Structure 1
Amino acid sequence: MPEEYRHGRFGTARLLSRRNKWLLLKCIRETTVKANRGRRYVQVSRAFFQLRQIIEYKARRAGHAVMLIDPAYTSQTCPRCGMVRKTSRHKNAHLYVCANCGYRSNDDRVAAMNIRGIGYETLDQLPR
């Protein structure tokens, strides 16, 4: 692994773990492979998996918690009205348009907003 990439992941993990008591991460498995995507998908998911491992390590050392969120349907669910519809996400255009309420945004942003929402709901259920 080139040194600049390794340093970048450690620097990112260090920054995130210092600034946040709770870190919400999309659960990525290193072995996730889609046959029709080719080798590039494997390399990208492996890099994110390694970043997740580094973040978890740095957060534990800082006494912070990491919560892994199942990404299922997060890019198909409207963060405004909650409607789940596969056709609302336009993968090639990286666009999400809710068929119910008309909310429009980048599909990755919609997924991140939903992951954040799941994290907040989970944190609210924890005993204080």
Structure 2
Amino acid sequence: MGAQRPRTVVLDAGALIAIDRGERRLLRLLELAGAVHFPAGALAQAWRNPARQVRLARLVGAAEVTIHPFDETVAKAAGALCAATATADVIDASVVLLSRAVEGVLVTSDPVDMRRLDPAIDLALC
């Protein structure tokens, strides 16, 4: 067996919080990841005090990280996904939509809600 190629990962707020807490499994996953993506809304859910959130602040500034805006297009798509799945969390919907768009593995602390939004989404638990 050869080495696995780096995967694109998409982080939800729970994954960002786990990284901020220094959870080794998530830190290792980041080391192995290719590109790292997350929506600005997920960052808003995790961001509280950058002076105390050194790991999260470092992640936000990393070159391999892309933070995607929550603009009008995303807002409408997230709302439509929530309507189609009878759910209400537009930030979770934006994470699912981003994961689809970049064809990444969605790293989440909330697999039940993510599966409700997309039963076929590629998930990893944090």
User: Under a length normalisation based on structure 2, what TM-score does the superposition of the two structures give?
Assistant: 0.40
Answer 1 or 2: higher relative contact order, Cα 8 Å, separation at least 6: 2
> Larger C-alpha radius of gyration, 1 or 2?
1
User: Under a length normalisation based on structure 1, what TM-score does the superposition of the two structures give?
Assistant: 0.39
